[in-house]
Structure 1
Amino acid sequence: METQERQHANQKKQVYSSFGKLNEIKKYMAYMEWYKGHSKTMGIGYYDSYKNKGNTYDNDAEGLKNKLSRYWQDTVEEVERKPQEEEAAMRTGFLFAGTNCRRMIEPLHIADHYKGGKKDYIKERPRHFVLLERWFNEDEEKKKAEREKKERENPQLRSESKPNSKAKNVASSLNDDSCFWAHVEEALILCNKQASNPNIEFEQYVLNNLEKFAVTPDIFLAQSSYMQWWNEYKKRVGNDYSSPLAKVMKRHTYTKYAEGVSVLADI
């Protein structure tokens, strides 16, 4: 009993220590939120501001990116070392913070990757980001199964109107897919290789994200890499080219996206 009590006390101590570190990390995330907002007021998203590194704020963001990434790398490794039951409990407690950090910080890793002249980021993606995303998806599937079970037991829940909170909050959101900018960079590379061939796969990827309000309105800022892709792409495919995404871009229906208005409404 004494050994068990000692082990229990050590576990509680570790939990308190872990949450203490997490609270410290949240301070870094608060600065990153400020950095994201500041970059937007400068007419450029934080991804491209960081990639260009034109001011001291970008250098500050680099230091915080490294601290945050190291923290989550260590945390993921710690979770993996736990017995399965403890691992699941710890994973749940840290998953929300880990997901927010992944969505905020991984784009900066992507920016460094492509700024250095590399490609195929996803093949070299840091393992802690891969696992944080996998655990998040598993948790979402579990919640979905539980929700569907309740709806089967109480069909009224299924018919109740559910407001689209993602549309309402899209202006302050982060990209659901933390690898969004890697897809943009690959599309840019492909655009420079293929003369007039449409990139249907990437177009559909963007449309799917817009339909679900899964990307931030910052992608439409004039100096963003996405708009750089579009400006180059429309030259390549020509003025007569028509597709659902081309209509969104040519008609500028995306200008109301930040207000939660679907860009697909007029297609």
Structure 2
Amino acid sequence: MLATFIASTPLLSESWRMCSVATRNSPQSFVMEQVGEIVYVAFPAAQMVHVGSEPSCREMVRLDFASCSSALFPLCRPIDGEEPVMVHAALLSLFLSVFQSPSFQSQMPALTQKCKSVVITGHSVGGALASFSALYLLSRLQSLPSSPFHLICITFGAPLLGNRSLSRAIIRERWAANFCHVLSKHDVVPRLLISPPSLLAPHLQHLLHLCNLPNQHIAEIFCFVLAYLVQAGDGTSTSGFWPFGSYLFCSQMGALCLDTAESVIKMMQLTLMTASPTSCIEDHLNYEQYVGRVCSQFLTARSFVNGVNEPNYDAGVSLALDSAGIPNQEMIAGAARDCLKMARRMTRTSPNLNAGALAIRLSHHVPYRAEIEWYKACCDMSDDQMGYYDSFKLRQSSRREARVNMNRIKLANFWDRIIEMLQNNELPHDFTTREKWVNTSQFYKLLFEPLDIAEYYRTQQHRVKGHYIKHGRERRYEIFDRWWRNTHVDDEGNKQIRSRFASATQDSCFWARVEEARDWIDSVRSENDARKRGLLWENINEFEKYAEGLVERKEVSIDVLARNSSYSLWVEDFKVLKSQIQKFPPHHDHDFPSYLDGGIVP
């Protein structure tokens, strides 16, 4: 259906026409032309790229370490312990050289202000430049006020660009739908970089010059790529390169569109199995014929295979295989059917339905969270003036506290299961940037982590393992911290001044810091080593300033200032200790240099 829609528009034919114009008239730059209300930007296939002996040109480079690139693509970053976002070194170097050209600097940034619809296109290596340019403009749009600007990138026979982390970053930003890669049935260039770098190195220098190679070298490259694709027929890539966006597989019979990376790699293998060394080069240069055939055939009404007029899944699969030019051989056709079924299953079931099911399960856990909120409100209004944290830490055996503890365990298991599903790729790649889940996890962390800290110190685990922050904090809270930072990276400088205290202390580890500060005061009283005692005073002084800053900005809950809370008792204990030190004779004062310097004078 997607292939039918794309082919029924002038996008494919106009994009290829612009690619031909760019290759013919501007082989070292790009061309720009307005057709109706759409502006087309096309990059040529022929580029002066030196992919020779430099090791960096035979492998990928980290996008955040490459010169200037981290500023150009700020949103393409990994999260949650993923491997770094990496791209092909030579292609990135080529794009940076184009980016620094006067024509690019003067024309491309202005597109976001002057145009409403832009199509960026390119053939072969020009397709890689088109993809980089599209990512640059999409990143630029994020920093601009919302505008009705629409962008699509259409490439023809382009090599793969980067690794799986790049693909996931694009999905998280919801940019995958902005990329459509047209791939002919036997074109070897888009398939070349799926091979492992160690095996690919002797052949990579031919990537940009396939048309001028002797037939013997072409045959070697073709056999090499085909052999590896057959070996990696399960839809994996050990080279590190990974598809992103939609792939439109073209043949003489029509087109087939896939948008899951595993099914794209599998289909690359199946459609190349019937190729020959000669056809793999011819197909790379023959997109004009394919585009013309696809557009004309899809504009002509076609019935389903074998005269079946009613729409059904099997007939649709048969039509899709026929459009992709899959031969009617039992082994290949069967594998292709499995590939399409896998793509359908991955698109419609695993990640998206799992995320929907989690939303339903989350609603079932709302009563547990409501009970904890009620418990916190009761503790804050209690006559004992201990507050939320200390009431749970010093709790006696009662039904109310038992229910609170049980709810704490249930919610912890729920969030641990979500993290496990993320690690197993059972949720959408943009799950950790969805506002609903980021905000919900942050609220959970602020409300429940104080209970985990209270349980940790109540059971004296700090005596065995060490203090909570370094030795006892659950991994889920560290992951939630990263989620929050990744989606609120620009909020730190725009915090509004609070008019009242927060509903929950904004530092979820605040009570763990209080427990450490209490331990430092006890250690100061018993420590005989002057140097160690000085370090303890520095730690205490830093915590005092930090806590006072939170209170002054009203970033703590009112339970922090309760008369008998651990923090209030710590403040009183610290005042007593300082008053005792002030009474020391002068010859003992050298033991407390930070105090005598005026750093902590009350």
- Which runs of structure 1 show a deviation greater than 3 angstroms over 4 or more consecutive aligned residues? 142-145, 239-247
Q: Distance in 1 between matches of 2:516 and 2:484?
A: 25
Q: Which of 75, 82, 94 pairs up with 2:418?
A: 75
Identity %: 25
Q: Using CA pairs below 8 Å that are at least 6 residues apart, which structure has the higher relative contact order?
A: 1
Q: Which residue of structure 1 lines up, in the alignment, with residue 11 of structure 2?
A: none
Q: Deviations over 1:90-133 (max 9, x none)?
A: 44241111111111111111111112221411112111111111
Q: Is 1:190–2:520 an aligned residue pair?
A: yes
Q: Which residue of structure 2 lines up, in the alignment, with residue 255 of structure 1?
A: none
Q: Distance in 2 between matches of 1:20 and 1:188?
A: 43
Q: Is 1:209–2:545 an aligned residue pair?
A: no
Q: Which residue of structure 1 lines up, in the alignment, with residue 477 of structure 2?
A: 129
- Secondary structure of the structure 1 residue equivalent to 2:506: coil
Q: Distance in 2 between matches of 1:139 and 1:126?
A: 21
The more displaced of 102-111 and 206-215 is 206-215
CA contact (8 A) 1:80 1:87 kept: no
Q: Which of 562, 570, 581 pairs up with 1:221?
A: 562
Q: Which residue of structure 1 lines up, in the alignment, with residue 442 of structure 2?
A: 99
What's the offset of the Cα at 1:245? Answer: 8.7
RMSD (Å), alpha carbons: 2.8
CA contact (8 A) 2:432 2:483 kept: no
Q: Which of 403, 416, 422 pairs up with 1:60?
A: 403
What's the offset of the Cα at 1:144? Answer: 6.2
Q: Deviations over 1:116-175 (max 9, x none)?
A: 221411112111111111211121115569x8xxxxxxxxxxxxxx853xx23525x111
C-alpha distance 244-104 of structure 1, shift in aligned 2 (>3 A)? farther
- Secondary structure of the structure 1 residue equivalent to 2:430: helix
What's the offset of the Cα at 1:189? Answer: 0.9
Q: Distance in 1 between matches of 2:489 and 2:548?
A: 23
What's the offset of the Cα at 1:45? Answer: 1.3
Structure 2: runs of 5+ lacking an equivalent:
1-316, 318-339, 526-532, 583-594
CA contact (8 A) 2:365 2:411 kept: yes
Q: Which residue of structure 2 lines up, in the alignment, with residue 120 of structure 1?
A: 467
Q: How many pairs are equivalent?
A: 228
Q: Which residue of structure 1 lines up, in the alignment, with residue 237 of structure 2?
A: none
Q: Which residue of structure 1 lines up, in the alignment, with residue 352 of structure 2?
A: 12
CA contact (8 A) 1:79 1:91 kept: no
Structure 1: runs of 5+ lacking an equivalent:
148-161, 248-267
Amino acid at match of 1:230: V
Pairing 1:4-43 to 2, within 5 Å after superposition: 4-10=343-349, 11-42=351-382, 43=385
Higher strand fraction: Structure 1 or Structure 2? 2
Amino acid at match of 1:109: D
Higher helix fraction: Structure 1 or Structure 2? 1
Amino acid at match of 1:231: E
What's the offset of the Cα at 1:246? Answer: 7.9
Q: Distance in 1 between matches of 2:402 and 2:507?
A: 24
C-alpha distance 200-22 of structure 1, shift in aligned 2 (>3 A)? same
Q: Deviations over 1:41-65 (max 9, x none)?
A: 1132111111011343222111111
C-alpha distance 13-50 of structure 1, shift in aligned 2 (>3 A)? same
CA contact (8 A) 1:207 1:245 kept: no
- Secondary structure of the structure 1 residue equivalent to 2:376: helix
C-alpha distance 14-210 of structure 1, shift in aligned 2 (>3 A)? same
Amino acid at match of 1:224: S
What's the offset of the Cα at 1:87? Answer: 2.7
CA contact (8 A) 1:187 1:202 kept: yes
State the TM-score, normalizing by the size of structure 1: 0.75
Q: Which residue of structure 2 lines up, in the alignment, with residue 170 of structure 1?
A: 501
Larger radius of gyration: 2
CA contact (8 A) 2:450 2:509 kept: yes
C-alpha distance 232-56 of structure 1, shift in aligned 2 (>3 A)? farther
Pairing 1:256-267 to 2, within 5 Å after superposition: none
Q: Which residue of structure 2 lines up, in the alignment, with residue 50 of structure 1?
A: 392
Amino acid at match of 2:516: E
Q: Which residue of structure 2 lines up, in the alignment, with residue 139 of structure 1?
A: 487
Amino acid at match of 1:32: I
What's the offset of the Cα at 1:234? Answer: 1.2
Amino acid at match of 2:483: W
What's the offset of the Cα at 1:6? Answer: 3.2
What's the offset of the Cα at 1:244? Answer: 9.5
CA contact (8 A) 2:450 2:508 kept: yes
C-alpha distance 138-244 of structure 1, shift in aligned 2 (>3 A)? farther
State the TM-score, normalizing by the size of structure 2: 0.35
CA contact (8 A) 2:446 2:507 kept: yes
Q: Which residue of structure 1 lines up, in the alignment, with residue 238 of structure 2?
A: none
CA contact (8 A) 1:25 1:68 kept: yes
C-alpha distance 169-5 of structure 1, shift in aligned 2 (>3 A)? farther
